[in-house]
């Protein structure tokens, strides 16, 4: 991580809470919202994001590891914390009241034995694979797993879940078929107690209203980005993360001047260049070379030549009045007089050849964050 003093990732907690209220309304009164704060809240900062959501009424949190769950409890987060990758150790689950996702018989038995030793009870969510092709038991194993969990002391079934692989694509038939498998398995099951059933992510929240069940698990929509590849009908989400830097040097160079390593770019006309203290160590990947633009004085300045470890070069020949120290927006909105523009996470993702999720994680985890 390079914590350059020039660079700031800004996290707008007002936008976060706006998105939370919006998705709660979309989920409706009978469906709980689990807010996904795994992976340092998609780069937005695990504890500050969870605290803000908890204060706004969020009662379910999703983390990847028990360690993230422990951090939340130590910060005083109340409510249910679901550990998506489960846990081989029972102690943090018991000591900090965390709910593991389970998908392995031996693991369930070990959790049971440990809970009995501690005279504790561990609630678990059983994960089914209805076509994700990743974590989870196969649908035909569900009955046997549920019976086993119900017969073991120290553990109890609190939820049954699955995950959609294609809810963000145009192939709606597959998502509907997978939800049907999920529904059928649940219908055939008799469970002694009420369990939370959940399968929908952000894309399914927006596009498949009949897959919401008892709870929706939302990540990217909370952070104000589109979960859908391609254009999304406007739902009013607001981007939570933006990324600002500064111009550290301005210079005029003649036509035919090579810029940065490899001279990937040579100026065609006499040009004014702005050197920026942002590079791949800050998550501004080298794959952005020759593709990206930044905002200076409310206007787009193309990034020229290779992006280096800690620096890159923007062409400001067409932008009058630029000065050293001017704010540079790497991602987000900028206004300057009548000029106004925005660079979205989706746009950066298209330049990087990736998805908005990865852009948020990269920028958020490699820079100092400030909360506004």
Ligand X SMILES: *Cc1c(COP(=O)(O)O)cnc(C)c1O
List interacting residues with ligand X (CB under 6 A): 36, 38, 84, 163, 201-203, 217-221, 227
CB of 219 to ligand X, least distance (A): 2
Closer residue to ligand X, CB minimum distance, 69 or 154: 69
Largest CA distance in the chain: 79
CB of 363 to ligand X, least distance (A): 16
Closer residue to ligand X, CB minimum distance, 222 or 273: 222
CB of 164 to ligand X, least distance (A): 8
> Is 173 exposed, middle or buried (CB count within 10 Å of its CB: 0-12, 13-18, 19+)?
exposed
C-alpha to C-alpha distance for 55 and 71, rounded to whole angstroms: 17
Neighbours of 180 (CB within 10 A): 12
CB of 148 to ligand X, least distance (A): 22
DSSP string for residues in 56-98: TT--EEEESSHHHHHHHHHTT--SEEEETT--S-SHHHHHTT-
CB of 203 to ligand X, least distance (A): 6
Residue 321, both tokens: 């009045």
Residue nearest to ligand X (CB): 219
Q: How many residues does the chain have?
A: 372
- What does the H/E/C string look like for 179-194? HHHHHHHHHCCCCCCC
Question: How do 80-83 and 99-102 pair as beta strands?
Answer: parallel
The catalytic site residues sit at 38, 261
State how far Cα 106 lies from the chain centre: 31
Closer residue to ligand X, CB minimum distance, 114 or 237: 237
Closer residue to ligand X, CB minimum distance, 101 or 111: 101
């Amino acid at each position: 991580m390079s914590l350059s003093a020039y660079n700031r990732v800004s996290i707008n907690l007002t936008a976060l809470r706006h998105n939370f209220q919006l998705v709660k309304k979309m989920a409706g009164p009978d469906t709980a919202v689990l807010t996904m704060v795994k992976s340092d809240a998609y780069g937005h900062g695990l504890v500050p994001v969870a605290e803000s959501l908890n204060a706004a009424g969020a009662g379910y949190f999703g983390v990847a590891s028990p360690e993230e769950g422990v951090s939340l409890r130590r910060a005083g987060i109340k409510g249910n914390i679901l550990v998506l990758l489960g846990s081989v150790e029972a102690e943090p689950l018991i000591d900090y009241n965390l709910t593991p996702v389970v998908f392995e018989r031996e693991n369930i038995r070990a959790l049971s034995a440990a809970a009995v030793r501690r005279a504790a009870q561990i609630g678990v969510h059983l994960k089914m694979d209805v076509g994700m092709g990743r974590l989870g038991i196969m649908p035909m194993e569900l009955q046997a797993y549920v019976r086993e969990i119900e017969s073991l002391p120290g553990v109890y079934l609190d939820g049954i879940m699955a995950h959609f692989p294609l809810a963000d694509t145009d192939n709606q038939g597959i998502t509907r078929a997978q939800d049907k498998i999920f529904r059928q398995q649940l219908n055939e099951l008799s469970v002694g107690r009420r369990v939370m059933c959940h399968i929908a992510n952000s894309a399914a929240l927006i596009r498949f209203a009949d897959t919401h069940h008892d709870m929706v698990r939302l990540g990217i929509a909370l952070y104000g980005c589109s979960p859908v590849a391609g254009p999304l009908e406007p739902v009013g989400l607001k981007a939570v993360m933006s990324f600002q830097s500064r111009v550290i040097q301005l210079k005029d160079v003649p036509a035919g001047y090579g810029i940065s390593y490899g001279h990937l770019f040579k100026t065609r006309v006499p040009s004014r260049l702005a050197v920026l203290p942002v590079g791949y160590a800050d998550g501004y990947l080298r794959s952005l070379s020759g593709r990206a633009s930044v905002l200076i004085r409310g206007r787009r300045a193309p990034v020229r030549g290779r992006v280096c470890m800690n620096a890159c070069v923007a062409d400001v020949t067409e932008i009058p009045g630029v000065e050293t120290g001017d704010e540079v927006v790497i991602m987000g909105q900028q206004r300057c007089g009548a000029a106004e523009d925005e660079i979205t996470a989706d746009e950066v993702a298209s330049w990087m050849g990736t998805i908005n999720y990865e852009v948020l994680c990269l920028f958020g985890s490699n820079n100092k964050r400030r909360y506004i």
